[in-house]
Amino acid sequence: MSDTETAAQQQWAFHGGLALPGHKQISTTAGVQNLPLPEQLIIPRQQHIGKPAEPCVSAGEHVLKGQVIAHANDYVCTPIHASSSGNIVSIGKQHVAHPSGLKGTCIVIDTDGKDEWIKLEPTGYEDMNPSHLRNLIREAGIVGMGGAGFPTFIKLNPGIKENIDTLILNGAECEPYISCDDMLMRDRPDEIIAGMRIMRHALQAKHCIIGIEDNKPEACKSLYDALGDATDITITRIRSHYPSGSEKQTIKILTGKEIPTQGLPLDIGVVCHNVATAMAVYRAIELGEPLISRVVTVTGSAVARPGNVNALIGTPISNLLDFTGVDYGNLSRVIIGGPMMGFLLQNRRSPVTRVVNCLLTYSHDEIKPSQPPVLPCIRCGECARVCPVSLLPQQMYWYARARDFDKVQEYNLFDCIECGCCDHVCPSNIPLVQYYRFAKTSISEQEQDRRKADVARDRHDFRLQRLERDKRDRENKRKKKLDALKKSKGDGMDAKQKAIQDALARISKKKAAQNTQPGNISNLTTQQHQLIQEVEKRRARLDPFDPNKKSDHQNENNQ
């Protein structure tokens, strides 16, 4: 079956990359298992690239499964849904899976065990306007599930030119150990293909290709079988060569086109989505279900029963570890994502989010020998040889270390995809990617500072102008008054004298009013009078506008 099709589909190679051991069979022996409903769900408001969603529920409120609990209030943002029914316990800072180990705002739900859905409204898509379709996909909270988490509805917008040549579904899953997409393609091929057809409708794309690394023959076969005689989608096996699943590389392999630097796939008429995203789109449109769960691979040497589990978004990671029988005594560390691009999990209560695709565990004996000292760069150039974007990692490393951020950008730092190939081959064990991440975040911080400085300059200039204007206004007013005064001098009665007399009259009237004693104190004892005086004193001390108070304060300072 495949011979003719694979032959027909031309493929292009990319520079560098690595042939890595897959380690996938560890977690593919059993099918996807459903995780039992956790007692508590911790749902972060930031699970995508862009602005965090704004919580729209409050503590104590009861929510149903699939109910929106945080609104999208920006374009690059998606709403967040409750993954199960229950009561909102709190909205506040919780540990989240992020390399910084910092806390993020989460909505915590105590589940009620009923798992009660809101009313689902399947729509179908054939007669739907693509714009409306994208809106539904946004409302379902769908983001790229391969790891980046970019809102999918934006990537389903064909742009102004509306000229999408190829829609690619990325089933490469090139990083070792991870197998959640593989299992999805084996178990749910129909949903993936249906999701792809919805995506094609939204984009009005001409061609559809699913790219799968050739180390997943079962997934390939299952998709072929699901496709049957249909010819609208091509399934292509690509060479297992890390990082073939990176968007830039996948597109290059399948179309021969390169995404221009700082550009989008859209610029070359290609759009690329992950297979799990396609499935989420299918479920959102055909079943009306928002994105509230995902498949996570739990693997590595510290797990007794490695495999893939279907977990609700917000499930604490410790639940997944327990479920797969982690030996905590031997667990050295948990990596979120794969061994090449993943990061260290710092708190096991952190929840599963839409972008957590793999939990990779390392046992103690595995970690110890792999911490050799970092030696100076010997300029061997191996990093440049494996770089899939043909950068010069070594030069970038020198300049990043020297904090010469202009120079490091001249070496195209921002084209780096952080795949970790250079790290992997470095004989001196230099954490190259971390240097690039350091440089990238430093540069964006600098840019932010510059923007802030510009705002401050504008505000300062405006303030100076305002002060200037106020001064002018006061001057004008004074002049006007003077003029008026001069004019009125001609009228027999002196206006100035009159004003003074009026003011004096007002003051004396006021004084008279103040001098009036309260009528009810005339027949009080001296003791009572003393008490009243003390109270008056205390009141004077407390009153900040009393002139005595101010002098007190100054005295304090002088002392």
Which residues between 532 and 551 bind another protein (CB under 8 A)? 544, 550
| Interface characters, 216-255, with another protein (x: CB under 8 A) | --------------------------------x---x---
Helix (H, G, I), strand (E, B) or coil at 23: coil
CA distances from 361 to 183, 358, 411 (A): 19, 10, 35
Contact indicator for 173, 213 with CB cutoff of 8 Å: yes
Residue 373 makes contact with another protein by CB under 8 A: yes
Figure out which of the listed residues 88, 335, 352, 396 binds another protein, where binding follows CB under 8 A. 335
- Considering the complex, state which of residue 102 and residue 524 has its C-beta at the smaller distance from another protein: 102
| Interface characters, 436-455, with another protein (x: CB under 8 A) | -xx-xxx--x--xx--xxxx
Q: What distance, in Å, lies between the first and last C-alpha atoms of the chain?
A: 95
Contact indicator for 84, 41 with CB cutoff of 8 Å: yes
Contact indicator for 297, 359 with CB cutoff of 8 Å: yes
Figure out which of the listed residues 148, 374, 499, 503 binds another protein, where binding follows CB under 8 A. 374
In angstroms, the CA 297 to CA 171 distance is 15
Q: How far is the CB of 273 from another protein (least distance, A)?
A: 20
Q: How far is the CB of 117 from another protein (least distance, A)?
A: 31
Tokens 């449109």 -> residue: 285
In angstroms, the CA 391 to CA 399 distance is 13
In angstroms, the CA 36 to CA 248 distance is 37
Figure out which of the listed residues 30, 380, 482, 507 binds another protein, where binding follows CB under 8 A. 380
- Considering the complex, state which of residue 75 and residue 414 has its C-beta at the smaller distance from another protein: 414
Question: Over the Cα atoms of the chain, what is R_g?
Answer: 34
| Interface characters, 42-61, with another protein (x: CB under 8 A) | ----x---------------
- Considering the complex, state which of residue 46 and residue 299 has its C-beta at the smaller distance from another protein: 46
Figure out which of the listed residues 132, 206, 459, 538 binds another protein, where binding follows CB under 8 A. 459
Q: What are phi and psi of 424, to 5 degrees?
A: -65, -40
Footprint on residues 146-185 left by another protein (CB under 8 A): 176
Footprint on residues 78-137 left by another protein (CB under 8 A): 96, 98-102, 104
The piece of 53-61, 154-162, 183-191, 389-397 that touches another protein (CB under 8 A) is: 389-397
Residue 519 makes contact with another protein by CB under 8 A: no
- Considering the complex, state which of residue 287 and residue 375 has its C-beta at the smaller distance from another protein: 375
Residue 412 makes contact with another protein by CB under 8 A: yes
> What tokens appear for 314 in the block?
């917000």
- Total count of residues recorded for the chain: 559
Query: Beta strands 293-300 and 358-363: pairing type?
Result: parallel
Residue 497's H or E segment, with its range, is helix 495-515
Q: How far is the CB of 552 from another protein (least distance, A)?
A: 11
- Considering the complex, state which of residue 40 and residue 442 has its C-beta at the smaller distance from another protein: 442
Residue 349 makes contact with another protein by CB under 8 A: no
What contacts 97, CB < 8 A, 6 or more positions away?
Answer: 317, 336, 345, 350, 351, 352, 353, 356
Across the chain, which distance is largest between two alpha carbons, in Å? 116
Contact indicator for 394, 383 with CB cutoff of 8 Å: yes
In angstroms, the CA 559 to CA 549 distance is 15
Residue 256 makes contact with another protein by CB under 8 A: no
Figure out which of the listed residues 231, 370, 514, 516 binds another protein, where binding follows CB under 8 A. 370
The piece of 62-70, 195-203, 369-377, 474-482 that touches another protein (CB under 8 A) is: 369-377
Q: What are phi and psi of 166, to 5 degrees?
A: -135, 135
Footprint on residues 257-276 left by another protein (CB under 8 A): 258-263
Q: How far is the CB of 524 from another protein (least distance, A)?
A: 34
Residue 557: how many CB atoms within 10 A of its CB? 7
Q: How far is the CB of 454 from another protein (least distance, A)?
A: 7
In angstroms, the CA 151 to CA 141 distance is 8
Number of residues that bind another protein (CB under 8 A): 100
Contact indicator for 174, 213 with CB cutoff of 8 Å: yes
Cα dihedral 128, 130, 136, 137 sign = positive
Q: How far is the CB of 226 from another protein (least distance, A)?
A: 33
The piece of 130-138, 156-164, 201-209, 428-436 that touches another protein (CB under 8 A) is: 428-436
Cα dihedral 191, 192, 197, 202 sign = positive
Q: How far is the CB of 544 from another protein (least distance, A)?
A: 5
Count helices and strands in the chain by DSSP H and E runs: 18, 17
The piece of 123-131, 301-309, 343-351, 495-503 that touches another protein (CB under 8 A) is: 343-351
Footprint on residues 7-36 left by another protein (CB under 8 A): 14-15, 20-21
Figure out which of the listed residues 219, 317, 340, 396 binds another protein, where binding follows CB under 8 A. 340
